[in-house]
């Protein structure tokens, strides 16, 4: 239309420039900002890519004095321009961008051999790392691997940090920027299932928390360590206003670094650190309203000091991620800050006009004001993090489904399960698993290993049952299937140091049962993959548990499910032990509206969820499969299970907490076993959208796991409900018991295209109700 009004192209151009400026300056929607910013980034980057395409080895650094300034592979910024191209290619899928991304990435390759810099993460991970993520080109992985090994040459285990620079005035300088290089190490551990790299990253991050930060959570730029005492001997700046000042980009590196470390490790210490840094940055009186910081928060020339747009880009990208990881009420504030920063950076004040600045995107960066180098210029890293932030925000806003939530669940689940399964597979479970408990009964300690194993497998099994395939998730599953299969052999092999106790105490009955429930949930990927000998040993172990007499309570279902497993896997079973508990619950202990007594008495606690509903349903399903008459009760039980799930969904508060009620609260979100199981078995009532269960449980999982001290330093769960709270545990609770929390992850056994994962995000009942939405009534079943 408009084009028709202006047949003259020139007039059209003038018109569109004229109208577009005020629109940007006013409140456009954030979607418009994102699209506008990405379009400009594409146009500018093509200019730059074309300009340098025939200049072998050359990569851009800045545009200064009306001139494009370039560098080679060995400069710390070499990876950013290829990274910008990869990010744009990810967004537009335009092969022209991929071609350029490949061209410029290749120019960075010789950096993989460098040993004199810590910046290899910036150089290789932003280029080859992004390229590998998007293309899986195996050569890129080789480059990253070689580079990472050279980066590790700078690691000093005694000091616990990677050395940043070689400079005469400092013995062992480490700069806050170095946090950024840790992402490549985390990636390597993920990719090769080898914790060596991430351990270095974690140690570096911990040492940095100890020494780099001041009481207000601002950070020094450089800490130099005394190589003999291991203590800092100098706290300095190299690029900031003063040693004691808060150089903005350094603060931004810290924010990004700890947010990333939390994403990679889920260690709540890092989340806490990122929050504290974030809080320092946004509540500082000298942060301008438009949220683009001055180059240093402490330059006395403020408000006339220079801004550093690159720091704003880095912060924006980090804040977007933090808003997704932080379950606290700060999350919307992080996101709002990032959006404000991106609005400002996308305004004509900061966004390069089309065709100017040599093809750079964001103006007004400050590289190194102290040495009067790169002052008030565009910087290739300012561009990179601006584009990354836009792409991240776009994904977040347009996220239609729970696919990314699925990734979060997998990460959290594997983080919890890894110490148990890796140690069991290596035969080091008994050696390495701690025993935290109010009890110091030595038999309880001996029983605790089977607790950890049975419960972990009970929760992870449905996901494993999806089997391995060539996707990233499928490969990860292959790894865990392998660990479980190897581990179970150790668990039952009489000669293994991890041979587990299935007798001598009442407790092993419980966990032989959870193990049975787990293996019933993965007949193909676990049971069938066990070698004959292991199957035989395991059957013997289950039979050994017949010597244990259950209490007249939920315990009756433990022999039932063990016999159900024996029936399923061997055809032979003890009918009395199978049926006794079923009869009690069916005929005597039902109290109404989906609640059973725990024995003849009613208990207001989570045992209906932890044990009763999931085990009753499972046992009856196996009975039905084998044509046993007692399975007649299954339809009634399923109706009760379904109603119970409905009630549990309502217990999730708008903030993602739930009532702290009853025994065994230290099982954390394992208390949602019955809800998770109902989702897995498609037993949710039709009125409940599976996505509201997903979203509600995600909020619970995120909230509970983000509490400080949920894990110990080696990654084992600590006794508690929201962090470490040992007095909230009963005598029978110990480290091993805590792994019942794994039960929440059952819906991962549904494929990614199941409605549970594929439906768009929605609010769960309590959240809707508290937002003023009419959610209707809730009625008992009869």
Residues annotated within the binding site for substrate are: 119, 177, 237, 249, 253, 371
Query: Contact letters (x/-) for ligand GLY, 206-245, by CB under 6 A?
Result: ---------------------------------x------
Query: Is 383 near ligand GLY (CB under 6 A)?
Result: no
For residue 195, the number of C-alpha atoms closer than 13 Å in the C-beta half-sphere is 11
Query: Is 249 near ligand GLY (CB under 6 A)?
Result: yes
In the chain, what is the straight-line distance between the N-terminal and C-terminal CA atoms, in Å?
64
3 state DSSP class of 366: strand
What is the CA angle 89-91-97, rounded to 5? 20
Determine the Cα–Cα distance for residues 116 and 106; give it in Å rounded to an integer. Answer: 20
Determine the Cα–Cα distance for residues 316 and 282; give it in Å rounded to an integer. Answer: 11
In 3D space, the residue among 200, 180, 175, 61 whose CA is nearest the CA of residue 122 turns out to be: 180
Smallest distance, ligand GLY to C-beta of residue 71, A: 13
Determine the Cα–Cα distance for residues 358 and 70; give it in Å rounded to an integer. Answer: 11
Burial 531-558 (b: 16+ CB within 10 A, else e): eeebbebbbebbbbbbebebeebbbbbb
Q: How many helices (H) and strands (E) does the chain have?
A: 30, 11
Q: Which is nearer to ligand GLY, 221 or 275 (CB)?
A: 221
Query: Contact letters (x/-) for ligand GLY, 173-202, by CB under 6 A?
Result: ----x-------------------------
CB atoms inside a 10 Å sphere around CB 423: 24
Burial class (CB within 10 angstroms; exposed 0-12, middle 13-18, buried 19+) of 18: exposed
Q: Which is nearer to ligand GLY, 151 or 750 (CB)?
A: 151
Smallest distance, ligand GLY to C-beta of residue 249, A: 5
Q: Which residues contact 421 (CB under 8 A, 6 or more apart)?
A: 456, 460, 480, 483, 484, 487
Smallest distance, ligand GLY to C-beta of residue 493, A: 52
Smallest distance, ligand GLY to C-beta of residue 113, A: 20
In the annotation, is 326 catalytic? no
Q: Which is nearer to ligand GLY, 80 or 585 (CB)?
A: 80
Burial class (CB within 10 angstroms; exposed 0-12, middle 13-18, buried 19+) of 571: exposed
Query: What is the 8-class DSSP label of residue 691?
Result: H
Only one residue has tokens 């974030």, namely 278
Query: Contact letters (x/-) for ligand GLY, 69-98, by CB under 6 A?
Result: -------x----------------------
Q: Are 731 and 719 in contact (CB under 8 A)?
A: no
Q: Which is nearer to ligand GLY, 177 or 677 (CB)?
A: 177
Binding residues: 119, 177, 237, 249, 253, 371
Determine the Cα–Cα distance for residues 474 and 660; give it in Å rounded to an integer. Answer: 36
Smallest distance, ligand GLY to C-beta of residue 76, A: 6
Q: Which is nearer to ligand GLY, 379 or 742 (CB)?
A: 379
Structure tokens at 564: 């159900």
Catalytic position from the list 74, 94, 119, 778 = 119
Q: Which is nearer to ligand GLY, 76 or 716 (CB)?
A: 76
Smallest distance, ligand GLY to C-beta of residue 380, A: 11
Smallest distance, ligand GLY to C-beta of residue 89, A: 25
**Taking phi first (over 0 means left), then psi (-120 to 50 degrees means alpha), and beta for anything else, what does residue 473 get?**
alpha
**Taking phi first (over 0 means left), then psi (-120 to 50 degrees means alpha), and beta for anything else, what does residue 663 get?**
beta
3 state DSSP class of 195: coil
Q: Which is nearer to ligand GLY, 129 or 597 (CB)?
A: 129
Q: How many residues bind ligand GLY (CB under 6 A)?
A: 5
Q: Are 257 and 336 in contact (CB under 8 A)?
A: no
Determine the Cα–Cα distance for residues 650 and 693; give it in Å rounded to an integer. Answer: 10
Determine the Cα–Cα distance for residues 363 and 309; give it in Å rounded to an integer. Answer: 7
Query: Is 251 near ligand GLY (CB under 6 A)?
Result: no
CA dihedral sign, ordered 130, 131, 132, 134? positive
3 state DSSP class of 773: coil
Catalytic position from the list 177, 308, 326, 498 = 177
Structure tokens at 574: 């003890």
In the window 545-604, what residues touch ligand GLY (CB under 6 A)?
A: none
Q: Which is nearer to ligand GLY, 76 or 297 (CB)?
A: 76
Smallest distance, ligand GLY to C-beta of residue 168, A: 19
CB atoms inside a 10 Å sphere around CB 10: 8
Determine the Cα–Cα distance for residues 476 and 533; give it in Å rounded to an integer. Answer: 26
In the window 330-369, what residues touch ligand GLY (CB under 6 A)?
A: 367
Q: Which is nearer to ligand GLY, 248 or 265 (CB)?
A: 248
Cis peptide before 673, with omega less than 30 degrees from 0?
no
Smallest distance, ligand GLY to C-beta of residue 374, A: 9
Smallest distance, ligand GLY to C-beta of residue 301, A: 20
- Distances in Å between the Cα of 509 and the Cα atoms of 58, 395, 451, 512, 717 are 67, 47, 10, 5, 22
Q: Which is nearer to ligand GLY, 249 or 445 (CB)?
A: 249
In 3D space, the residue among 598, 599, 461 whose CA is nearest the CA of residue 525 turns out to be: 461
Determine the Cα–Cα distance for residues 398 and 360; give it in Å rounded to an integer. Answer: 27
Q: Which is nearer to ligand GLY, 254 or 454 (CB)?
A: 254
Smallest distance, ligand GLY to C-beta of residue 201, A: 17
Determine the Cα–Cα distance for residues 646 and 684; give it in Å rounded to an integer. Answer: 7
Q: Which residues contact 434 (CB under 8 A, 6 or more apart)?
A: 712, 714, 716, 735
Q: Are 239 and 299 in contact (CB under 8 A)?
A: no
Only one residue has tokens 């929760």, namely 459
Smallest distance, ligand GLY to C-beta of residue 253, A: 7
Q: Which is nearer to ligand GLY, 76 or 170 (CB)?
A: 76
In 3D space, the residue among 225, 214, 93 whose CA is nearest the CA of residue 160 turns out to be: 225
In the annotation, is 119 catalytic? yes
Nearest-CB residue for ligand GLY: 177
Task: Give me the active site residues, please.
Answer: 119, 177
User: Which residues make up the interface to ligand GLY (CB under 6 A)?
Assistant: 76, 177, 239, 249, 367
């Amino acid at each position: 239309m408009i084009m028709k009004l202006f047949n003259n192209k020139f007039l059209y151009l003038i018109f569109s420039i004229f109208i577009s400026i005020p629109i940007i300056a006013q409140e456009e929607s954030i979607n418009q900002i994102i699209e506008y910013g990405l379009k400009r980034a594409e146009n500018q980057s093509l200019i730059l890519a074309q300009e340098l395409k025939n200049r072998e080895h050359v990569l851009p650094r800045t545009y200064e004095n009306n001139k494009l300034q370039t560098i080679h592979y060995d400069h710390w910024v070499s990876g950013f321009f290829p990274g910008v191209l990869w990010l744009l290619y990810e967004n537009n899928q335009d092969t022209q961008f991929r071609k350029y991304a490949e061209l410029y990435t290749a120019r960075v390759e010789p950096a993989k051999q460098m040993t004199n810099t810590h910046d290899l993460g910036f150089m290789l991970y932003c280029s080859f790392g992004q390229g590998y993520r998007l293309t899986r080109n195996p050569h890129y992985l080789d480059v990253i691997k070689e580079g990472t090994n050279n980066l590790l040459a700078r690691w000093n285990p005694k000091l616990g940090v990677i050395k940043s620079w070689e400079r005469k005035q400092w013995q062992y300088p480490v700069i806050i920027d170095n946090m950024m290089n840790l992402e490549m190490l985390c990636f390597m551990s993920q990719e090769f299932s080898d914790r060596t790299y991430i351990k270095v990253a974690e140690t570096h991050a911990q040492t940095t928390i100890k020494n780099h930060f001041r009481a207000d959570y601002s950070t020094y730029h450089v800490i130099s360590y005394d190589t003999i005492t291991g203590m800092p001997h100098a706290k300095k700046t190299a690029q900031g206003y003063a040693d004691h000042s808060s150089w903005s980009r350094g603060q931004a590196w810290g924010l990004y670094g700890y947010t990333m470390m939390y994403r990679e490790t889920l260690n709540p210490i890092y989340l806490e650190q990122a929050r504290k840094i974030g809080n320092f940055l946004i509540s500082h009186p000298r942060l301008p309203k438009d949220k683009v910081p001055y180059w240093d928060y402490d330059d006395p020339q403020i408000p006339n000091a220079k801004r550093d747009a690159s720091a704003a880009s880095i912060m924006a990208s980090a804040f977007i991620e933090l808003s997704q990881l932080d379950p606290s009420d700060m999350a919307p504030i992080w996101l709002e800050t990032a959006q404000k920063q991106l609005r400002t950076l996308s305004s004509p004040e900061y966004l390069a006009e089309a065709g100017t600045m040599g093809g750079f995107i964001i103006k007004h960066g400050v590289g190194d004001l102290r040495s009067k180098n790169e002052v008030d210029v565009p910087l290739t890293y300012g561009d990179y993090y601006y584009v990354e932030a836009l792409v991240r925000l776009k994904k977040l806003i347009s996220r239609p489904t729970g696919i990314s939530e699925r990734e979060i669940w997998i990460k959290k689940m594997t983080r919890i399960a890894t110490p148990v399964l890796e140690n069991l597979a290596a035969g080091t479970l008994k050696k390495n698993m701690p025993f935290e408990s109010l009890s110091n009964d030595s038999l309880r300690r001996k029983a605790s290993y089977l607790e950890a194993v049975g419960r972990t497998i009970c929760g992870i099994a449905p996901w494993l049952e999806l089997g391995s395939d060539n996707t990233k998730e499928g490969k990860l599953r292959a790894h865990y299937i392998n660990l479980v299969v190897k581990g179970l052999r150790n668990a039952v092999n009489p000669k293994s140091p991890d041979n587990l106790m299935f007798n001598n105490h009442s407790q092993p009955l419980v966990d032989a049962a959870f193990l049975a429930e787990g293996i019933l949930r993965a007949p193909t990927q676990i049971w069938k993959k066990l070698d004959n000998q292991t199957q035989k040993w395991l059957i013997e172990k289950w039979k050994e548990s017949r010597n244990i007499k259950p209490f007249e309570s939920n315990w009756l279902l433990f022999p039932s499910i063990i016999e159900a497993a024996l029936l399923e896997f061997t055809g032979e079973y003890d009918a009395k032990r199978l049926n006794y508990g079923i009869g009690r619950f069916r005929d005597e202990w039902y109290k109404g509206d989906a609640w059973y007594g725990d024995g003849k008495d009613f208990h207001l606690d989570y045992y209906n969820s932890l044990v009763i509903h999931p085990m009753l349903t499972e046992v009856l399903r196996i009975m039905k499969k084998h044509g046993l008459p007692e399975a007649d009760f299954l339809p009634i039980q399923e109706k009760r299970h379904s109603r119970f799930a409905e009630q549990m969904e309502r217990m999730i508060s708008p903030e993602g907490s739930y009532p702290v009620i009853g025994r065994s609260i230290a099982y954390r979100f394992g208390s949602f076993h019955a809800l998770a199981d109902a989702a897995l078995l498609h037993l949710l009532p039709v009125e409940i959208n599976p996505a509201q269960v997903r979203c509600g449980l995600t909020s619970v999982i995120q909230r509970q796991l983000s509490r400080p001290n949920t894990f110990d330093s080696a990654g084992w769960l600590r006794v508690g409900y929201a962090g470490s709270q040992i007095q909230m545990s009963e005598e029978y609770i110990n480290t091993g018991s805590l792994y019942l929390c794994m039960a929440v992850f059952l819906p991962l056994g549904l494929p990614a295209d199941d409605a549970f994962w594929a439906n768009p995000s929605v609010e769960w009942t309590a959240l809707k109700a508290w937002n003023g939405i009419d959610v209707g009534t809730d009625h008992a079943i009869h």
